[in-house]
Structure 1
């Protein structure tokens, strides 16, 4: 659980695909302070559906925010992203429609 959350407008978690080397970009929905106050983490929408409890069909349909994937990466504001990273964001946006 989290002690506090706040919007993360313009922030993303950026990583690289290990095979292609292309950027993988997850738009952040919010920042969260963990319960003990020891860290602030970025939260993303659960794009996979189900999170750690995928076996439950009722759990699959719940909307929720989760921490960023457990992969190497960095938080970046849109103003500090490369053209390739920005293109990855636009590519994700157009594939959802």
Structure 2
């Protein structure tokens, strides 16, 4: 599957926030993970860098109210990931299905 081209900083911020919320829901609510801690950290610090570079975009982002007001990239524990648990479950089941199909 190819990754969509994300052209603007605003789109990238929204994309990263969504990824972090879903993966935090997986990790903290379900005790599961589909990405490494290193990748999660990379995404978190990329987001923090974008917030620093484009501070006005932080409060305009789609997921701002889910814990990104005072975002610290060290952990997703303090994000409001509960509304994303359903998406996280679906994503984990999809990953499990793909793994079974491979082999």
TM range (shorter): under 0.3
* TM-score when normalising by structure 1: 0.28
- Judging by fraction of residues, say which structure has more helix: 2
- Judging by fraction of residues, say which structure has more strand: 1
Q: Per chain length, whose mean CA-contact separation is higher, i.e. which structure has more relative contact order (CA < 8 Å, sep 6+)?
A: 2
* TM-score when normalising by structure 2: 0.27
